[in-house]
Amino acid sequence: MDGYFFPAMKFVEWMLPDSHDVIFGKPWFQNYNPQVNWQTEEVVIPDRMQFGDIDGPSFSHNLKEGECEQVFRVKVQLVPEVDGIPEPIFKVVGEEFKDVFPEQSPDGLPPMREVNFEVTLKKGAKPSSRAPFRLSKMEQDAFEEFVKDNLKKG
């Protein structure tokens, strides 16, 4: 197995779609202190933490013996860009849900349609007279003044 060995880690696997980036937190950077090349977007981990290939039985043995507290398997892939713009999200979502989307996307919004629906009210029910959200005393006074002024205007 090609990768890095991090002592004291639990085994976790994330199935990330190609559209997701991997985000390392500040604690990870503090613990492993990698060298970051911002121009090439590469993270180089110090040699003391790297190793070459490990075969399956050795990996299983290390895992069973508790030598690995966590192991992460993450697939990282470059997202193609067109003129510096990442691939549209529709393509990513569209690939995952092909059976839901039409072959060709519509050119605009659907036409305006009349919507008919019925709301059945309880007999004798009265609408609530309370505000949908609470106002402070000052806001309530300003609101009442606003309503009075507009009622006078008609």
- The confidence score (pLDDT) of residue 148 equals 92
The whole-number pLDDT of residue 9 equals 46
What are the 10-residue block averages of pLDDT along the chain, 154 residues in total? 51 59 73 78 65 70 74 61 56 71 78 86 82 81 90 84
The Cα–Cα gap between 22 and 54 comes to 23
Per the CB < 8 A criterion, the answer to whether 69 and 7 are in contact is yes
